[in-house]
Amino acid sequence: MNKSDALLRIEALSKELHYHNNLYYQQDRTEITDFEFDALLAELIELESLFPESIKTDSPSQRVGGTVVKAFNSITHKYPMLSLSNTYSESEIREFDERVQKSVGRPVEYVCEMKFDGVAMSLTYINGILTHAVTRGDGVRGDDVTHNIKTIKSIPLKIQASDIPAEFEVRGEVYLPYEMFERINKEREDIGEALLANPRNAASGTVKMQDSSIVAKRSLDCFVYSLLQDHSTTASHATSLKKLKDWGFRVSDSYKICTSVDEIITYINYWSEARFKLPLATDGIVIKVNDLQLQSELGMTAKSPRWAIAYKFKAEEATTPIISIEYQVGRTGAVTPVANLKPVHLAGTTVKRATLHNANEIDRLDLHEGDTIFVEKGGEIIPKITRVDLSKRISNSKKINFIKNCPVCDSNLIRVEGEAAWYCPNEKGCAPQITGKIEHFIQRKAMNIDGIGSETIELLYQKGLIKNIADLYALTYEQLISLDRFGEKSVTNALNGIEASKNTPFKSVLFAIGIRFVGVNGAEKLALHFKNIENIQNASKQALLEAPEIGDKIAESIIEWFSIEENKVILQKLKNAGVRLELSEGEILVKDSDIFMGKSFVISGVFEKYERDELKEIILKNGGKVNSGITGKLDYLVAGENMGPAKLEKAKKLNIKIISESEFENLLNS
């Protein structure tokens, strides 16, 4: 395809993908399947890679992510992002209404909206194109996180409507749905990482990630709630919300126009219970004067608008006795205490259990046997024990101390310096650790073995047929058909699933073998950097640190894993079975030249013509190495705008050659 035809096809694909995105996210309907949509997007990305000059800031390909930044630019808000005054009582809502009526001299119409618990975001559009997405920051200045916000599919990159102003701003709340929050925490627990506290913190951390490709995988979403422009084209807040929805933004249908304070209270009472059925966290109700002219007349205080107030829900809390404490052992050996509670209704569900996290939490609460505790679910998905009701403590009750031995194999527990968790060190003989590792191996993001589930793993282990992940590939028809609940079809499915897993990409295999702290993204970075398992096994700590996203903790964990003889034996068995332990030819980077052979680079800052990943790929394709940190052996620091001053100072101190973007190009072309 020549360039002219390619540009026409890119334009047509972009238009079609924008149309289907708007149809799905704004009108809740589809005209094509997910497979067909993905095929169109893949075609667009391929054409744009052939003609990179054709990539526009509003291209649907920007949803996929891939931009990496080291630091975030600070941007001054055109309209300050002020906080709202908060209230927790009905009487203060009535006082707010009285103040407003007294100021304007007549009854006022309000709009009530759900206050979603996420990250406030300012979106600026110029000529219909999303140009900046900025966090609240201190209300005056915030961080430019446009590259990450572009990955949110419900936020339009380009407005299709014809009645838009030349420039306008949209305010919204970026949030992480409960389902994704639970999925992230499950993976973090699986690889031995500390769990995220709540969806709001998770959303905030995701928005500030350096690699937008990781952000894209987290499926952030956004509800918008405000339209700002120099000369308003609408008379009320409600019509502004309707206008935003018409333009393709995601506006929650939960808002309501209220003509009296009693209607406001009715709205609050309804959502106090109904909010628990929503798929995202909420923390209150926002009440705004509907008339935009009245908003202007009422004005602002130094901290907040006089025409709006936020009613905050109190955290849902209940009291119930502890029946018992049980201890669970995960695949990494971490021992987690869980409190079994007398069932109690809380936040729309019946709570029977609550995690106690670790020994420190038991000590903090000073738990005794039979204690009545307060359990909370305000903004949290997992019920949390907040404190003990000391007035109901049984006299002479025994203090609860964290166990000293594994509840399964009785091994003495150990505690790693700097970590809160206690671990069972018997990873080769403790049943939950063994079966947990195998269950991790077969999961969808790992080997994705169909026909085998956790119950099957337990049965195979109990029967002595498997003791590690490699034993799966030695299972026979005769062994499986003799087991209870295994018929001809289920045996065939299991064996076919095991056989098919041999073609699993190396990055997924690397995640599947279960090195602690190595998640899906870390495994992908390691696979692309080292190409095969032998290179990772033989890498020094410094060599591991040169791989993208790999820090001290992960590097040390990798070295420890490969130092265990049994792990080496398992790898050899996997290799003998035909499991892929290296990148396929299609995945290996094809070299353009050896011009950078023997040269090492560090890339820092933001560049005009290239993304950081593009520079890295150019260096690798031309024989060079990309390091994560500056050492005396480094050859070049490629310095962009807003690079860290400490890194620059260290490079100067070590007499490292510092080159600009244009000097890098000269070096490449030489």
pLDDT confidence tier of residue 607, bands split at 50, 70 and 90: confident
pLDDT in tens, 380-407: 567 889 999 999 999 999 999 999 999 9
Q: For residues 104 and 203, what is the distance between their CA atoms, to the nearest angstrom?
A: 39
Q: How confident is the model at residue 45 (pLDDT cuts 50, 70, 90)?
A: confident
Q: What's the pLDDT score for residue 261?
A: 95
Query: Quick one: tokens of 138?
Result: 């201190």
CA–CA distances in Å: residue 638 to residues 69, 400, 630, 655: 14, 56, 11, 14
Determine the pLDDT at residue 664.
92
Q: What is the predicted pLDDT for the residue at 214? A: 85
Q: Six-digit token pair at 275? A: 């909010």
* 3-class DSSP string for 454-482: HHHHHHHHHCCCCCCHHHHHHCCHHHHHC
Q: Could you tell me which residue, 371 or 349, shows the higher pLDDT?
A: 371
Whole-number average pLDDT of the chain: 89
pTM of the predicted model as reported, rounded to 2 decimal places: 0.67
Structure tokens at 551: 């820090």
Q: Express each pLDDT in 163-198 by its tens digit.
A: 999 999 999 999 999 989 988 888 888 888 878 878
End-to-end CA distance of the chain: 31
Dihedral of CA 438/443/445/451: which sign?
positive
Give the CA dihedral 147, 206, 601, 595, nearest 10 degrees.
-50
Confidence category of residue 498, pLDDT binned at 50, 70, 90:
very high
User: What is the per-residue burial (b if ≥16 Cβ within 10 Å, else e) of 226-239?
Assistant: bbebeebeeebbbe
For 196, the token pair is 């995220």
How far apart (Å, rounded) are the C-alpha atoms in residues 354 and 33?
41
pLDDT at residue 482, rounded to an integer: 92
Q: DSSP secondary structure string, 357-392? A: -SHHHHHHHT-BTT-EEEEE-SS-SS-EEEEE-GGG
User: Which domains are present in the chain?
Assistant: 3-64 (1.10.287.610), 75-267+276-312 (3.30.470.30), 317-415 (2.40.50.140), 431-503 (1.10.150.20), 506-577 (1.10.150.20), 600-669 (3.40.50.10190)
Whole-number pLDDT of residue 548: 78
Q: Are 141 and 290 in contact (CB under 8 A)?
A: no
Provide the pLDDT confidence category of residue 148 given band limits of 50, 70 and 90.
very high
Q: Residue 68: pLDDT band by 50, 70, 90 thresholds?
A: low
DSSP collapsed to 3 states, 34-101: HHHHHHHHHHHHHHHHHCHHHCCCCCHHHHHCCCECCCCCEEECCCCCCCCCEECCHHHHHHHHHHHH
Residue 638 pLDDT > 70: yes
pLDDT digits (tens, 9 = 90+) for 463-497: 999 999 999 999 999 999 999 888 999 999 999 99
> Token digits for 236?
């009320």
- pLDDT recorded at residue 171: 97
Catalytic site positions? 115
SS3 521: helix
